[in-house]
């Protein structure tokens, strides 16, 4: 018996089909179920690189009579099986031939089902080889017009095989070998060259199989490196169609041409691609940041995020004698945010007006001689009517100051007042009103907490972080005013501090801009903050010292969440207020 290669390992680049050993198997049975030793004959052929390297053929005593109709189909009689070895004696040889191979069979679930059941009954471990079904492969490659049936006999006739199937195990196995080679030749014309691609082709259902246009463009991945970074699909005229990131660029880019991509828009993109450019990065953080920047710069039409790259919303006071709050898309001093959508910003604006006595009207009030008419809010005691001259600018200014102190985390008195109002309404039995105010408090506190932490990071002139790379080394990043200024690695065995100093010396110069985030894109600041505060990242250097607002919204957001949980349990109780920061 021929010795087979060790068990196959599937790496990122794929296993070339010419290097794969296929064990092509066929079984004849009595027609019984998997629960009995119904196998009457085993035929197997081992092939590699188009060459036959081993065969196995034997009759098997099933321990039961062969039905007459099965005898008429296969020609195997009870007399032929007299004296044949039992399945328990044959099984070790079959498993030895399979080991290290890809198991191939026509209608493979039938044959593998009998073999797995036989292993279980005879206390043999199932080797769990990769399985390739030639019937399913044929249906994936051949159209119904070309070959209406994928029966073994029909396929052998279609391809003009020299072996005609006759329902005997070895003959049918030899015919399956020929059919397999013809099918592999056909998929080679589609650009499928590896075992992984072949198995995926069989696995994918028809609507999700890669198109011929996709496969013929797989050469675009030939020069892509196996490294972390960003990839750009380009179409005609150097247009950037799509930008993505991956820890292994080669593996990810190849998947667009070989895997069953289910997104129609991505299939359309691949069909138009003419080139793939890559930017190799030090680690995943740098790749993610560069992806954000490239999407913002090119706005590729196949990236959903590129429709509004970097778009965010803020709640900010207007610039007038009697400022009011408005939702804006350009941050400025005193703005609260960022918020991902206008609706979220509007919700926080409404909550802020419950906490801070700023006017709710949208009219522009002149500094001198206002001549408006007090509205209903004045009558209800919710507005001092500066529009009618009933509140001078000096009396209105403390409300504006309260807003700035709240956003900056200097004073959380407005949040304490809202929390007290929630408790009063709950104690009075106004549970629905209390729940609405509680949720608005949670939205406001969350916005203040989130905005304050991002603003604190963006205010720092320089921060250096180091995260374990999982292999004994470090991933390093230099941040300046909320932007990634440099990235690098200190592999295991390399002293990290000299690498840190080198990165700092060569890092990009970042000049701070206007607004709470100093001009940095909100998505980039969020990404850097998550990296610095998770995954075991260590703070190596910070100037000035990194600190966050003492009276930010974090404790009050947690209070609102506890209040919501308490309401679910009791229907009316609110938790104690959080301890105030010193």
Distance, CA of 13 to CA of 371 (rounded, Å): 76
SS3 letters for 66-111?
CCHHHHHHHCCCHHHHCCCCEHHHHHHHHHHHHCCCEEEECCHHHH
Which residue, among 90, 96, 92, has the nearest Cα to 3 in the 3D structure?
Answer: 96
The Cα–Cα gap between 482 and 469 comes to 23
Bridge partner list, 280:
229
Angle 181-186-189 (CA atoms, 0-180°, nearest 5)?
130
374's tokens: 């007090």
- Cross-strand bridge partners of residue 488: 476
Going by C-alpha positions, the residue among 423, 432, 450, 355 that lies closest to residue 577 is 423
Q: Which entry of 34, 122, 158, 167 is annotated as an active-site residue?
A: 167
- Give, to the nearest 10 degrees, the angle between helix 413-427 and helix 393-408: 90
**Which residue, among 547, 344, 334, has the nearest Cα to 442 in the 3D structure?**
344
| Angle at the Cα of 178 from the Cα atoms of 176 and 184, rounded to 5 degrees | 100
Catalytic residue flag (residue 167): yes
Q: Tokens for 549, please give them.
A: 């607002």
Task: Check: CB of residue 345 under 8 Å from CB of residue 339.
Answer: yes
User: Which residues are the active-site residues?
Assistant: 167
């Amino acid at each position: 018996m021929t010795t087979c290669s060790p068990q196959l390992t599937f790496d990122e680049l794929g296993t070339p089909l010419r290097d794969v050993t296929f064990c092509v198997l066929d079984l004849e049975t009595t027609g019984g179920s998997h629960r009995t030793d119904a196998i009457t004959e085993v035929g197997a052929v081992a092939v590699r690189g188009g060459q036959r390297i081993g065969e196995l053929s034997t009759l098997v005593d099933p321990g039961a009579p062969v039905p007459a109709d099965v005898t008429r189909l296969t020609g195997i009689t009870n007399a032929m099986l007299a004296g044949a070895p039992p399945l328990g004696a044959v099984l070790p040889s079959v498993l030895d031939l399979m080991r290290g191979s890809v198991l191939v069979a026509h209608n493979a679930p039938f044959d593998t089902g009998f073999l797995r059941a036989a292993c279980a009954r005879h206390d043999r471990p199932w080797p769990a080889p990769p399985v390739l079904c030639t019937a399913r492969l044929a249906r994936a490659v051949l159209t119904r017009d070309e070959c209406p049936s994928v029966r073994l006999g029909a396929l052998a006739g279609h391809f003009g095989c020299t072996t005609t199937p006759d329902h005997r195990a070895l003959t049918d196995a030899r015919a399956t070998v020929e059919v397999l080679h013809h099918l592999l030749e056909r998929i080679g014309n589609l650009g499928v060259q590896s075992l992984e691609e072949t198995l995926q082709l069989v696995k994918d259902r028809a609507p999700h199989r890669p198109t011929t246009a996709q496969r013929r463009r797989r050469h675009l991945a030939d020069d892509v490196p196996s490294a972390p970074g960003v990839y750009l699909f380009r179409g005609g005229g150097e247009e950037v169609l799509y930008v993505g990131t991956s820890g292994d660029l080669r593996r990810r880019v190849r998947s667009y041409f070989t895997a069953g991509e289910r997104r129609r828009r991505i299939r359309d993109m691949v069909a138009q691609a003419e080139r793939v450019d890559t930017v190799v990065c030090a680690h995943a953080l740098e790749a993610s940041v560069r992806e954000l920047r490239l999407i913002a710069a090119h706005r590729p039409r196949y990236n959903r995020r590129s429709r509004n790259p970097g778009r965010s919303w803020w709640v900010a006071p207007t610039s007038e004698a009697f400022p009011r709050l408005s939702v804006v898309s350009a941050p400025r001093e005193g703005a609260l945010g960022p918020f991902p959508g206008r609706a979220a910003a509007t919700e926080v604006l409404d909550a802020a007006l419950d906490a801070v006595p700023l006017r709710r009207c949208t009219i522009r009030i002149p500094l001198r001689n206002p001549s408006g008419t007090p509205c209903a809010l004045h009558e209800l005691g919710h507005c001092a009517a500066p529009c009618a001259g009933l509140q001078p600018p000096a009396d209105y200014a403390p409300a504006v100051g309260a807003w700035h102190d709240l956003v900056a985390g200097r004073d959380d008195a407005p949040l304490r007042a809202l929390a007290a109002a929630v408790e009063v309404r709950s104690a009075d039995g106004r549970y629905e009103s209390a729940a609405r105010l509680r949720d608005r408090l949670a939205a406001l506190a969350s916005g203040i907490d989130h905005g304050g932490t991002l603003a604190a990071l963006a205010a720092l002139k320089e921060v250096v972080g180091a995260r374990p790379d999982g292999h004994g080394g470090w991933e390093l990043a230099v941040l300046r005013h909320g932007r990634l200024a440099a990235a690098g690695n200190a592999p295991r065995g390399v002293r990290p501090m000299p690498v840190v100093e080198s990165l700092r010396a060569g890092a990009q110069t970042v000049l701070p801009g206007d607004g709470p985030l100093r001009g940095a894109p909100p998505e980039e600041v969020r990404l850097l903050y998550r990296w610095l505060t998770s995954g075991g990242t260590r703070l190596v250097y910070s100037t000035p010292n990194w600190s966050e607002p003492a009276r930010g919204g974090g404790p009050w957001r947690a209070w609102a969440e506890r209040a919501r949980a308490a309401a679910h349990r009791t229907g009316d109780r609110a938790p104690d207020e959080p301890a105030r920061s010193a």
